Structure formats: C-alpha cells, structure tokens
Structure 1
Amino acid sequence: MTPEPISPAGTDAPLTAPPPGCPAHGVGVGGLRRLYGPGAENLEALYEELRAEHGPVAPALLHDDVPIWVVLGHSENMQLLRSPSHYSRDTRLWTPMLDGAVRPDHPLMPHLAWQPLCCYAEGDEHLRLRGAVGGAISTIDHRGIRRHINRATQHLVNKFCERGEADLVSQFAERLPMMVMCEILGMPEEYNDRLVAAARDLPKGTETAIESNAYIMDVLTRLTVRRRAALEDDFTSHLINHPAGLNDEEVSQHLRLILIVAYESTANLLANVLRVVLTDPRFRAQLNGGQMTVPQAVEQSMWDEPPFSTVLGYFAKQDAELGGQRIRKGDGLLMGIAPGNVDPRVRPDTKANMQGNRSHLAFSGGPHECPGQDIGRAIADVGVDALLTRLPDAELAIDEDELEWQESISNRHLVTLPVQFAPKSQQDVMAPPAHRTPSQRSSDWQISSPPPQAAAPEPSVPAPAPTPEPIRQPAGLFQRLLRWWRGD
C-alpha cells in the first residue's frame, strides 16, 4: 500500500514536481525534498530552504521516500516535546510502519524499531522506567566523577603529549566519554579500543552495526548478571535495585541506551568545542581574556553545533495543527534540534553570543528530556578545561577548510582534528590540575569550571582514596579551591 503523500497546504491534493526518484533534483514522491542522497549533502542549507518554502514545519522524505514532517521552528519543537497527549515516541503508531512502507531492512530501522525502553514508553510504563533511570542517576557522586574525568584526561594526554602532535577526535574526544561512562556504569575493566569502535559504529547503520551491537550487548549483559548476583555502589547496581523492579533484559537494554547516547553526544560535543576554540579567533580570545568560561563555551557550542541534529521521531496520536500545518493521526515528525536552534525568530543573529541562555534544544525537552545532561556537561567542561590547561599552545595542524565531517540525519560529527604543540612531559594523573601564575595568564588559557550547586546528600559512587598530604596550615582561597577540586 503506497503511503499517502503529505500536502504542505493541509489538503488531500497531491503535489506536482519532477518525476519520483529523480536524484538530480533531490526530490521524490509528491515533489517532496529528500533528507538523504543527492541534493541532501548539506542538510543545514536544506533545512533553511525548507523553512523558506514551508515555514516552521515542512514536509520531506526519509530513505525509501517515506514521508516525514521536519519541525524547524524553536517554539514548534517545544510544543511537540511538551504535548504528550498529541505526540508520542512509539513508532508503532506511525502509518508508514503500519502499512509496510517502512520495510524491516530500512536504513533507519535501528532508530525506528520499537523497544521496551523509557524513551519509547508512555504513561505509567514511562514513569516506571524513567523513574528507575532517574533514580540511578541521582546516586552518582558528581564531585567524584569530575575528579575521574580530570584523571582520565591526564591519562589520555600523557599518551601523546611528548610527541607534540595529536588527533583530538580519535585520541581524545572519542575516548574520554567511554572511559567516564565505563566508570559510571561500574565496568572500568571493559574499556578498550573495541568498545570505543563499536559504540561509534552502532548508530551509523553500517554493515557492521549488528556485530557492534552484539558485542556491546554481550558486555552489558555480563555486567547485569554480575551485579544481579552481587550489588555494588555503581549506576548498574542502583538501576537493578530500584523499586521499579526492572528485569535483566530491561536493565541491559537501558544500559545500552544510556551508554550509546551519552557516548555519541559527548564525543561530538567535545570535538565541536575544541574545533571552535582552535579555528575561531573571536571564540578563543574570549576564553583567553576571561570573558567566557569553559562551561559557557560548551553551552554556546550546543546552540551552534548540537551533538545531535535531529531526533527521529515523534508520531501523531490524533489529528493536530503544528506550525500552520495539518498533521494527521499517524504522521511522523522529525524533531529539528539544529534547525530549531537557528530559528530566526529566536536567533535573528546567529553570531550573537548566547552566554547564560540554556534554552537550546540540544537535550530535548518535555517528558523525554535527557536525564543525564549534567554528566555530559561535566565531561565536556572538565575535559576541555584540563586538556587546554595541559596544551595551551595547541594549534590546528591543517587549514580549517581541510577538516572533514560525516553527516547523517541524526548528527554531524568531525572526522579528525589534528593539532600540533610544543612537546610536553607526562603528568601524574593523580595530581591536582595545574594552574598558572598571574604572570602566565596574559598568553595562556584562562578557563574555569564553576563548582556544582549544592544538593541534598545522596548515595554516591566511592571515589579513589586521596593521595596522603602533609598536615595543612590555614589555607587561603587558592588552597581551598584546590581542596574542593580534589574532593577533600
């Protein structure tokens, strides 16, 4: 059964356009623009063309010419996210899925196949699963994790600092998030090159994605079995022990969801922030001059280059109107994070500084807002801060126009970020972060990460024992800051 074409006019009249399947025009059934293949090499530009043609909500086509609405407006995306009575994430409601237009071998099936996870659930089941995930997240010791992020950064930098050159994507941005997530989940011994490669490969829908998924699930299933037999004080144990009573399959599947989403988004975020620092003199000058801290730089990056471009998808539970378009029951909608962040009604000047403004769409919103966003921010804040402290003279080793990206509907990530710097000696990973004297700050980085806000005492992940110190004399402000960083 052929899916009914979407009409941007909100009528049942079919659209006229070049012949279906014409790659030269990047259009398909009903004359709708494709979000893949020839004509869609630059999705950022394509989204702006759709905005100009149709407004804040535009009709388009996914792979195999499956119709989808693209939500381009900031307020329309927020309306989508905050209207669970109208829009669901349950793909079983999607008309093309029901009538067979989305085949089992559809390239986006890894994103579309329904699973018993909190991100697809609704009502009481969503509250049960989301409550378990949120409860486990609330037990994370944020101060301890920040210390671990710093030490993991020092460990990674030690591997290349003496050479005076590095690729900050493959040697840093793709590794730090996995090291941290393995620590949080309670499986630091599982961190290795294969796990990093599998996590990077899984979301891409490649020929090896099934094999990568099997490897990751084997790791997480074994972890679940171990913790079920003997609970410890880590995220996995708290997820298992939550009153919601998740079974082993639910636990391992949610571990995979958290691991992959946290890893992919944070790896992209790290690479994006570092690229801007290395290529944008204005951005770098603000950090150098103290007008911007690393956390503010991270938030700016989430406006300009969010780790995920879109979220696929949301599905209409009933007929509705959104952004002037008639949405039918069973229609699918693509949440447009990147295009929503540059909505001219919200950001008439996309070069304007967005410091202090966290209303970007990078972490979604509504019932399915990312529950682990503070961990992602911490990895980026501490990781970038510690890296630039170690390598204040790092410079891009190639011309900016030689940088390459891999782009898909879900995200756009940097392939490599080669840098060069004066060779540095290795550093004790257990030592507190080095801080320069005022005389050095005129030419080096001036970066800082604010301490976390006070919170009620919660169960925590045990931190490594601190290095023994001599008896302290009355401390000044600098010494007190060092003690706060080290968790003393």
Structure 2
Amino acid sequence: MTTPAAEAAASAGAGASSGDGAEPRAGGCPVAGRMAATPIFGEQLDGDMMPRLYERLRAEHGPVAPVAVAPGIEAWLVLGHRELVRLSREEQDFSHDPRRWRQLREGRVPEDSPILPMVGWRPALLFADGQQHRRMRAAVSDALSRINGHELRRGVRALSERLITEFADRKEADLVSDYARKLPLMVITGLLGLDEPTGRELVKAIAGLVVANADSADASKRMGSILLALIEEKRRRPGNDVTSALLHHPARLTDEEVLHNLVVMFVAGNQTTVNWIATTLRILLCDPAFRSSLSGGHLSVDDALDLVLWRFPPTQNFPARYATRDLRFGGQEVRAGDMLILGLAAANADPDILPEDGTPVVGNRSHLAFGAGPHTCPAQDPARLITRTAVDTIRHRLPDLELAVPEAELAWIKSPWSKGLAALPVRFTEPQLPRGPQAPRS
C-alpha cells in the first residue's frame, strides 16, 4: 500500500516531466487513429509559451483539440469554457475513473510513461464517480471546514514573517524557493497534525519527489512511511487536525483511502498554492497598473487574486476524464474510452465568454481555475486564505520590493500541467520586520 501512495504523491506534485523534449509540432500521435495530435509537452514549451499554443489549437480545431500529453499518449484537450463545464458536470458521459481509459486497457501505454503516475487509479475522490465520490468528498469537505480561518490566518502571517526575516538581511531573495515554495508546505504539515521535526521530514520528501530524479523513488517511500505513521498515530490519539477528521468521519474511510486522499490534498493542493502566490507576486512586480489599483484600493486583494486566476490559473491543464460512450463533443467524434484533458487556462481565455476587450470583469468568479461541477476543488477557501495572507504580508514587510532581472528573463517550469515560475529573483532595501520575539514556529 505504501508504494502506490507514494508514487501518487510524486505524480500529483511534479507529475509531468517534460517527456523526451520533443519540439511541439503538428503531426504527432493520432487520437484513436483519427487525427494528427499536437504535443503539449517538451523542452520547447514552458508556462509562458503555452497560451499561444492554446490559441493556435482553438483556431485550428475549435473548442476540443487532439493533443499528445506524453510520448505515445493521445488525448483531447478541452479548450472551450462551455465544453469544459459540461465535461466537469456530466459524469454519465465523462467519468473520472481511469480504469475506463481504452489506450491503457489495450496495453498501448508504455510502462515507463510519465503520464501513468498522474492518472493511475487510486482510492481517492479525484478518481471516483457518483456515490463513491460523494462519500469521500463529504469526508474531505467536512475535514477542511473544521479549519479555523482566524487561526489559519494568524499562523500563515507568522510563518510568512518568519520566512521574510530569514532572507531580509541579504536584501535579495528568490520568492519562489525562499517563500512561495516553502510557505504552503509549512502550513499544510501543520494542518495535517504533524509535529515540526516530522513536518520538516515530509517537506524534504516532497522536495525530493518534485525534482523527479533518481532519488525520487526513495523520497516517495519516505513520504508514504511518514503518512502511514501519521494515520496510525491519529487512529490511536486523534487531534484537532485534518487527518484525524478524515479518520473519524462518519463516512468511515479506510486507512488506504485516507492515505490517498491526503496525498491528493497535500501534493496537488500545495503546488497550486505555490503557483498562485508566485504568480500574484510576479504581476505585482511587473504590472504597474495592477499594483497601483491594488495599492490605491481600487482592487481588493481578493479581486486581484481572482484576476490572477482568470489570466494565469496555477494549473493550466488537469487530467482527466474518460468518455463513457461514443459521442460528438465540441465538434469532434469522441469515442468511448478516450481521455479528455481539462484545459483550464485555455477555457478561461475562451473569447466566447469574455468581454469584447478580452479582460475579465473584476469580481467575476466564473473562472475555471478550480474546476467545475461536483469535482470543484474542495480546498479553494483555505488556499485563498493562505495566498491572500502570503501576498499581503510580503507587500507590507517589503514595501520597496522590485524584480532583480528583466521580466523577459524569468524562467518557467516546463510542464503541460502547471503554470509556474521556476524562480522569481527580487531585491529590496528597507524591510519592515516585525518587532518583538521571532514569529513562532509551526
């Protein structure tokens, strides 16, 4: 049981290596032998370049386009906002269960394919339909609803100030590695009910998974061992934490179900929050109008965060749904067992649902950054609170923050799934550090 869970963790966080580095081009794999598919992976595509590819695919194919998500792996990328909403809501036509995937059932997926850890079935809400999904969703939602928002805000602010204090003397930092990547992990380990030393070990294991190198297998085993030990401890001695709430919920999740749902919540939720924090800080640094609107009170922090979710959703594409029958969808002939990818970033940019100038309306939360339908992300409220507090804290503690390199030189993660910066180098001169004792450790 440990190894599959740990592999699930590796895939959910770093899941998609860029494959064989093939340059994106038309004429890749045929989707079910019908149409040339365009790769959406490879060294030539990073988070900054992908939007242009989505618009080319939309122009060539309409709201549903044939793509390859890894070498030899064919899928449909859903680019249209209306089509993606339908895909997310109509479970009778589009299942979450990867055991329906025809290409896998027919043995046409290489054993070492980078997509397998992303979409392999596990007993978690992300891979279930109907009653089974509702059962696990109820447990996860109830566990998350028990989080005290006031306490979480105070804790995030204290941890944010602690991280800022650690690099303040240098007058420079990488806000991805020094701040955005560390903060959500520290917060989430506390929410799971881990003590600080064990939390640090889990953070190290996650870091080992994300790099996706030869040491990742050992890192995944460490993560699985830590979470299994946590589950056993919380069975014996429950506390006021998410793990205990899952274990003792009336839905009666098994230890295996708790483990896999923790992996999904922890790893997938963490990377999304990292990207949301880093992207918001990037826009504040690079977009004077955005910064002025926020500083002048014309935009609330929540309005600003939603504009980021519209324009730069932290997750670009999300796997997957599987057609339960042959049907015509978005102008394409989709067959039973075909894989469909949720093109969250492309759907948010669908010109059919945006104003004529293409600018999202302030206060409009009909974006699809968190999905739609019964599988809408259950952790979006705590993720928003963490992101809002992280952004607000650094704005006030580092008021003269500026980018340390030209914006064009910023490096992006190369992944078909994630819209994330690899680094965000900044400099500042007058940090406004908190007075009194150092912020408490989580």
Structure exhibiting the larger radius of gyration computed from Cα positions: 1
Q: Which has the higher helix share?
A: 2
CA distance in 2, matches of 1:39, 1:144: 44
Q: Measured at CA, do residues 403 and 24 of structure 1 come closer, stay the same or move farther in structure 2, by a change above 3 Å? A: closer
Alignment of 1:37 with 2:42, yes or no, is: yes
Please list, as runs of the form range in 1=range in 2, the aligned pairs for 1:216-235 lying within 5 A after superposition: 216-235=223-242
Alignment of 1:177 with 2:188, yes or no, is: no
Q: Is the 8 A contact 2:78 2:342 kept in 1?
A: yes
> Is there any run of 5+ residues in structure 2 with no aligned partner, and where?
1-20, 31-35
Local SS of the residue matching 1:382 = helix
With 337-346 and 38-47 compared, the bigger mean Cα shift is at 38-47
Letter in 1 for 2:37: L
Aligned to 1:84: 91
Letter in 1 for 2:252: G
Q: Is the 8 A contact 1:151 1:429 kept in 2?
A: no
Structure showing greater relative contact order (alpha-carbon pairs closer than 8 Å, 6 or more residues apart): 2
Aligned to 1:285: 292
Q: Is the 8 A contact 1:55 1:323 kept in 2?
A: yes
With 72-81 and 114-123 compared, the bigger mean Cα shift is at 114-123
CA distance in 2, matches of 1:194, 1:419: 28
Local SS of the residue matching 2:38 = coil
Q: Measured at CA, do residues 374 and 190 of structure 1 come closer, stay the same or move farther in structure 2, by a change above 3 Å? A: farther
Give the deviation of 1:32 after TM superposition.
2.1
Alignment of 1:240 with 2:247, yes or no, is: yes
Please list, as runs of the form range in 1=range in 2, the aligned pairs for 1:78-477 lying within 5 A after superposition: 78-190=85-197, 195-200=202-207, 202=209, 205-348=212-355, 352-424=359-431, 426-428=433-435
Letter in 2 for 1:44: P
Q: Is the 8 A contact 2:24 2:41 kept in 1?
A: no
Q: Is the 8 A contact 2:400 2:430 kept in 1?
A: no
CA distance in 1, matches of 2:251, 2:312: 36
CA distance in 2, matches of 1:295, 1:414: 21
TM-score, normalised to structure 1, is 0.80
CA distance in 1, matches of 2:312, 2:264: 22
Local SS of the residue matching 1:413 = coil
Measured against aligned partners, the alpha-carbon deviations of 1:358-409 in whole angstroms (never above 9, x if no partner) come to: 1111111111111010000000111110111111111111111111001211
Aligned to 1:485: none
With 388-397 and 347-356 compared, the bigger mean Cα shift is at 347-356
Letter in 1 for 2:275: N
Aligned to 2:28: 28
Local SS of the residue matching 1:407 = coil
Q: Measured at CA, do residues 352 and 152 of structure 1 come closer, stay the same or move farther in structure 2, by a change above 3 Å? A: same
Q: Count residues with an aligned counterpart.
A: 414
Q: Is the 8 A contact 2:396 2:432 kept in 1?
A: no
Q: Is the 8 A contact 1:60 1:69 kept in 2?
A: yes
Give the deviation of 1:71 after TM superposition.
0.2
Give the deviation of 1:124 after TM superposition.
2.0
Measured against aligned partners, the alpha-carbon deviations of 1:104-156 in whole angstroms (never above 9, x if no partner) come to: 21111110111111110122211221111112112111111111111111111
Measured against aligned partners, the alpha-carbon deviations of 1:430-487 in whole angstroms (never above 9, x if no partner) come to: 799xxxxxxxxxxxxxxxxxxxxxxxxxxxxxx99xxxxxxxxxxxxxxxxxxxxxxx
CA distance in 2, matches of 1:22, 1:142: 45
Local SS of the residue matching 1:406 = coil
With 199-208 and 365-374 compared, the bigger mean Cα shift is at 199-208
Give the deviation of 1:425 after TM superposition.
5.9
Provide the alpha-carbon RMSD of the alignment: 2.4
CA distance in 2, matches of 1:357, 1:430: 41
Give the deviation of 1:182 after TM superposition.
1.2
Q: Is the 8 A contact 1:270 1:380 kept in 2?
A: yes
CA distance in 1, matches of 2:206, 2:244: 22
Q: Is the 8 A contact 2:192 2:241 kept in 1?
A: yes
Letter in 2 for 1:295: D
> Is there any run of 5+ residues in structure 1 with no aligned partner, and where?
1-20, 433-462, 465-488
Local SS of the residue matching 2:126 = coil
Aligned to 2:17: none
Q: Is the 8 A contact 1:154 1:429 kept in 2?
A: no
Identity of aligned residues (%): 37
Give the deviation of 1:216 after TM superposition.
1.6
Q: Is the 8 A contact 1:68 1:332 kept in 2?
A: yes
Give the deviation of 1:202 after TM superposition.
3.2
Measured against aligned partners, the alpha-carbon deviations of 1:303-340 in whole angstroms (never above 9, x if no partner) come to: 11111101111000112222122211111101000101
CA distance in 1, matches of 2:191, 2:92: 34
CA distance in 2, matches of 1:332, 1:228: 38
Letter in 2 for 1:231: P
Measured against aligned partners, the alpha-carbon deviations of 1:153-192 in whole angstroms (never above 9, x if no partner) come to: 1111111123221111111100110111111111141466
Q: Is the 8 A contact 1:23 1:37 kept in 2?
A: yes
Give the deviation of 1:295 after TM superposition.
1.5
